[in-house]
Amino acid sequence: MSFADLIALMPLMILAITPIAVMLVVAVHRSHSITAVLTAIGLAGALISLPLTSSPETGQVTMLLIVDGFARFYIGLLVAAGFVAVLLSYGYLQTYEGHCEEYYILMLLAVLGSAVIVTSSHFASFFLGLEILSISLYALIAYPRLKAKDIEAGLKYLVLAATSAAFLVFGMALIYAALGTMELTRPATFIYSAAAERRSLPLMTGLIMLLVGIGFKLAVVPFHLWTPDVYQGAPAPVTAFVATVSKGSLVGLIVRLFGQVDIAALGSLFTVFTVIAVSSMIFGNILALLQKNVKRLLAYSSIAHLGYLLVAFLAGGSIGPTAVTFYLIAYFVMTLGAFGVITVLSGPQKEAEYIDDYRGLFWRRPWLGGTFTAMLMSLAGIPLTVGFIGKFYLAVAGVSASLWLLVIVLVMTSGIGLFYYLRVVVAIFAPPPQTNTPKETLPLAGELTLAGLTVVLVGIGLLPSPLLEIIRNMIA
* Domain spans in the chain, listed from the N-terminal domain onward: 1-257, 262-476
If DSSP codes are grouped into helix, strand and coil, which group holds residue 65?
strand
pLDDT single digits (tens) 59-115: 778 888 888 888 889 999 999 999 999 999 888 888 777 788 888 999 999 999 999
Interatomic CA distance for residues 328 and 243, integer angstroms: 11
Distances 95 to 89, 126, 144, 267 between C-alpha atoms, Å? 11, 37, 11, 54
CB distance 241 to 81 below 8 Å: yes
Parts of the chain with a pLDDT under 50? 194-195, 197-198
Residue 66: name the closest of 103, 133, 12 by CA: 12
What pLDDT score was predicted for residue 188? 64
Q: Is 14 helix (H, G, I), strand (E, B) or coil?
A: helix
For residue 194, the model assigns a pLDDT of: 43
Distance of CA 206 to CAs 50, 212, 344, 396, Å? 34, 10, 44, 32
Q: Cα(303)–Cα(467) distance, rounded to whole angstroms? A: 25
| Spatial CA neighbour of 346 closest among 279, 382, 294 | 294
pLDDT at position 268 is: 75
In angstroms, the CA 428 to CA 453 distance is 19
HSE-up (13 A, CA, CB side) for residue 422: 8
Chain centroid to Cα 260, Å, comes to 23
CB 18 within 8 A of CB 42: yes
Write down the pLDDT at residue 116. Answer: 92
DSSP 348: S
CA 262 from centroid of its chain's CA atoms: 25
Under DSSP, is residue 66 helix (H, G, I), strand (E, B) or coil? strand
Cα–Cα distance measured from residue 429 to residue 378, given in angstroms and rounded to the nearest whole number: 17
Task: Output the pLDDT for position 142.
Answer: 86
What are the tens digits of pLDDT across the range 386-413? 889 999 999 998 888 888 899 999 999 9
Which phi and psi (to 5°) does residue 60 adopt? -70, 125
Give the distance from CA 265 to its chain's centroid.
28
Q: What residues are paired with 183 via a beta bridge?
A: 122
Q: Residues 6 or more apart from 157 whose CB is under 8 A from it?
A: 137, 138, 141, 226, 230, 234
Query: Distance of alpha carbon 365 from its chain centroid, rounded?
Result: 28
Cα distance between residue 399 and residue 402, in whole Å: 5
H runs (alpha helix) in 266-357: 268-288, 294-315, 319-344
**270-301 burial, b for 16+ CB within 10 Å, e for fewer?**
bebbbebbbbbbbbbbebbeebebbbbbbbbb
3-state helix, strand, coil in the chain (%, to 5): 80, 0, 20
**Torsion angle in degrees (nearest 10) through CA of 162, 168, 173, 174:** 130
Q: Residue 195 has what pLDDT?
A: 47
Task: Quote the CA–CA distance of 301 and 286 in Å, as a whole number.
Answer: 9
Beta bridge partners of 439: none
Find residue 354's DSSP bridge partners: 293
- Calculate the average pLDDT of the chain: 85
- 0.85 exceeded by pTM: yes
Residue 80's pLDDT is 93
The CA-to-CA distance between both ends of the chain, in Å, stands at 26
pLDDT at 68: 84
Q: Cα(447)–Cα(326) distance, rounded to whole angstroms? A: 25
Element housing 189 (H / E) = helix 186-190
